[in-house]
Amino acid sequence: MPRVAASTAPATLPPPLPGLDPAWSRLVTVPAVSLPGGASRPERTWHLLDTAAVLEERGLRPVGTLLCVHGNPTWSYLWRSVVARSLEVAAAGGPVWRVVAVDQLGMGFSERTGQDHLLADRVAELGDLTDVLGLAGPVVTLGHDWGGVVSLGWAVDHPDLVVAVTTCNTAVHQPDDAPIPAPLRLALRPQLLGRATVVTPAFLETTLAIAHPRLDRATADAYRAPYRGAARRGGVGGFVADIPVDAAHPSAPELDRIAAGVAALDVPALLLWGPRDPVFLERYLDDLAERLPQADVHRFEGAGHLLPDDADVAGTVLDWLGDHLPDGTVPAPAGSRLPADVDADADAGRPLWAHLTELRDSDGAALVEMAAAGGPRTITWRLLARRIDEVAAGLVDLGVRPGDRVSLLVTPGADLTAALYACIRVGAVVVVADAGLGLGGLTRAVRGAQPDWIIGALPGLAAARALGWPGRRIATLALPTPLRAALRVEHTLAAVARRGAARLAAGAVLPDAPASDAPAAVLFTSGSTGPAKGVVYTHGQLGAVRDALAGQYDVGVGTGLVAGFAPFALLGPALGARSVAPDMDVTAPRTLTARAVADAVAAADATVVFLSPAALANVVATASALTDDDRAALGHVRLFLSAGAPVPAALLTAATELMPNATAHSPYGMTEGLLMTDVDLEGVRAAASSSSSGICVGRPAASVRVRIAPLDRDGLATGALTDDPDVTGEIVVAAPHVRDHYDRLWRTDRASRLGVDDPRGHRTGDVGHLDATGQLWVEGRMQHVVTAPSGVVTPVGPEQRIEQVDGVGRAGVVGVGPSGTQQVVAVVETVPAARRPGLADAAVTEAVRAAAGVPIAAVLVVPVLPTDIRHNSKVDRARLSRWASSVLSGGRMARP
């Protein structure tokens, strides 16, 4: 262990600093502690933040203590928001938690001892302090960085006091086959260690510089306050020097002891993470989650190492404590609370691959690949079932186990179908992220899901290699040896199948089917309203999705299905349908042409077509290229569906002209629940003459319950759930086929269930209302609600009215200004399109204001409204609001 210079200095109280109440600070002297063998730990004085006196003054009795331990090179100031939030919760009548946030010895404003403090010393010293404080439990630990290790070490040593553990970006194990993260390797170099950590403030300044968002000057200065001058920074260098880089390091045995002890902790746990941390990488989160399988996890996308400053750690921790330990102890399980109209056995249905088993001896077509060389290629049920079994057996032989995550970076087709059903069959969890997320979005999704394996085509494998995505690689195609090595590909899908075929021929059998409640898939949302979220479905819930679609639309064995929407392409075999993905770029729905749809219909003798609105719009736009044979093929379609964004009646009508014998439907759903309501073209037309505001999405599907959480004046859905007509609020759904939970997003998952009295319930984030006939109308997204002085304004209704103005194409209605006093701004496309953005002329402005039905402060025109990245049809109101705010405050009139 390299040594660094350390000075001595007494503990002091901190000076006045922003966000830090002097009433929280105190100095505590720990007397000398005798050790076995005649040694002792000398008397030491600590600085800490402690709310005990404040709570006593207010007459509040704590239910327990939250013990917070900072890392390097921070100090207890890191936890100021936790201290403040705990007092706010207590004052509001919530659970009362005493917060003790320590400055470790040599750090912050605690005593500078002039001595090295190894990991074992720090754990023991913290125990000495808590003995003096008289912490009798219940205690919840909260640690960050190497303070997380110290706090977990304390928890391991005090099992009689600890009732829960919580951490932020920490690690208890360094894998033998992985290097120490680069920033620490650099700091640990002997020639740099003292200079970077003690002689200069480089290590401290680097830590402060990686905050997201950037720290303001006053906050950064507060972090610097205890470390001004080399004599005050000895502990910073000592902490870095104490990082166990290998088994020979003196702190390695203690780290191993703590790691083993953490795995034995049988208490609730919360793991909070900032993914942009350059030091504590996702592999350390994975390790903690494996050691604490009971842990709730929340990744704050966009946050980094200084997590308590980057994100709302304080609110999350206090909410979690309120849910899990409302009185300082873990409440007894309440049991399942299923409403009377929800089938308790809905998840216990047939496995997703049941039709594949039933049809495995059929030579009928299961899949048709349109982009195959030499024309369409047909895959029979017999061939598909055999291929799935072979790939499944091969995956097991490679070491894929139930619960392993497998990221599928493959376009719809036979390879994707075989890989997906093989993974599900052996209990692996498939990770599916739309390529439409773009490389940045895909990177966040894949890294967040932390797959163990990647099955990919060349573009996906190249991206995985270039961007450092985790997972062992399996290619869907044969690659030259140099390229295979460069991409770190270990196997090909064909080789995996051959391996599996050999095992099956030798008498091997596939593992038992996974349990209904076992996770089966992580499907990522579009990212159109924030970072894409991983949505976890169990096997039972995927089966319920299949059954809901089959029952609603009579899709099943013998049905020919054209799926221009990935979820339907993947569910085709589960439905027993003969499915085909049309020839198109799946990342760009507008590349789908009318001829490509007609070719797909003819190839699969399809009677059902499912397209996204953007794809459907281009199909209609390219209809002039259809031949007589194409139109004859489209005449066989009996049902077409379009969903993913609002579908105008005019578009559905135009589509029925191409498919004259088909009934047009527009389901309403989301990644969290693919089918919630349904409306046909007649319903859409009838809605056009209704006085209701918004887009009619029809009546709930079978087994779906829809209610509304009314909005308050601040635009928040705080009201009790209701199914009364004409009440505007957040749309809340419940059904057997709603997702299980969000992946590693505890806080997001909690928010989606708040106030929902149904374990299968979900707050959709959409705002709308039910009408007197029970139909649902969508009025926009919750985050797009405008809080004007006259009350809340939902955007869709005004947008629809504005789009009826002559000379106006699409419209976006957004709020500009502070919440509660926002001004409503309309941004419109004109016909013909404006050449550049600007203020609308007087005539357009007057017409828009007259039509909107709400006060419009300004009308802007743009050549093209920005849309979301996946559907290419939803107006990106968040982006539009930022742009309008900039323009109206004097910013440059660039395109949004």
Encoded amino acid at 79, one letter: W
pTM score, two decimals?
Answer: 0.91
Do 778 and 789 lie in one domain? The reply is no
Distance (Å, whole) CA 151 – CA 68: 8
Distance (Å, whole) CA 711 – CA 786: 12
Q: Is residue 753 included in any domain, yes or no? A: yes
Do 768 and 811 lie in one domain? The reply is no
What's the domain count of the chain?
A: 5
Q: Is residue 805 included in any domain, yes or no? A: yes
Q: Is residue 266 included in any domain, yes or no? A: yes
**CATH number of the domain that 656 lies in?**
3.40.50.980
- The confidence score (pLDDT) of residue 528 equals 66
- The confidence score (pLDDT) of residue 372 equals 60
Pairing, β 673-680 against β 663-670: antiparallel
Do 406 and 532 lie in one domain? The reply is yes
Do 743 and 602 lie in one domain? The reply is no
- The confidence score (pLDDT) of residue 333 equals 64
- The confidence score (pLDDT) of residue 445 equals 86
Do 621 and 770 lie in one domain? The reply is no
Q: Are 704 and 734 in contact (CB under 8 A)?
A: yes
Beta bridge partners of 30: 44
- The confidence score (pLDDT) of residue 688 equals 78
Q: Are 715 and 815 in contact (CB under 8 A)?
A: no
Using a 10 angstrom Cβ sphere, with 0-12 exposed, 13-18 middle and 19 or more buried, the burial of residue 87 is: buried
Question: At CA 310, angle to CA 304 and CA 315, rounded to 5?
Answer: 125
Do 532 and 589 lie in one domain? The reply is no
Q: How many CA atoms lie within 13 A of 306 on its CB side?
A: 24
Domain stop point among 782, 800, 818: 782
Do 390 and 373 lie in one domain? The reply is yes
Q: Is residue 244 included in any domain, yes or no? A: no
Distance (Å, whole) CA 698 – CA 686: 11
**CATH number of the domain that 739 lies in?**
2.30.38.10
Contacts of residue 864, defined as CB under 8 A and 6 or more positions apart, other chains included, come to 829, 833, 895
Tokens (6 digits) for 128: 């000495």
Match 């397209």 to its residue by tokens: 611
Series of mean pLDDT values for 10-residue runs along the chain (896 residues): 72 97 98 88 97 97 98 97 98 96 98 94 97 94 98 98 98 80 71 84 95 96 97 93 88 96 97 95 93 97 96 98 92 54 52 94 94 81 97 97 95 91 97 80 86 94 90 95 96 97 96 95 81 93 95 94 79 93 80 94 94 90 96 96 82 94 94 94 86 89 96 94 96 96 96 91 96 95 93 94 93 94 95 91 95 95 80 76 90 76
Domain stop point among 782, 799, 815: 782
Domain range holding 817?
785-888
CA proximity to 830, closest of 849, 814, 844 = 844
Do 154 and 19 lie in one domain? The reply is yes
Tokens (6 digits) for 813: 């209605």
Do 844 and 724 lie in one domain? The reply is no
Q: Is residue 764 included in any domain, yes or no? A: yes
Q: Is residue 200 included in any domain, yes or no? A: no
Q: Is residue 339 included in any domain, yes or no? A: no
Q: How many CA atoms lie within 13 A of 499 on its CB side?
A: 15
Q: Is residue 196 included in any domain, yes or no? A: no
DSSP H helices in 1-77: 52-57
Do 600 and 482 lie in one domain? The reply is no
- The confidence score (pLDDT) of residue 338 equals 43
Do 828 and 878 lie in one domain? The reply is yes
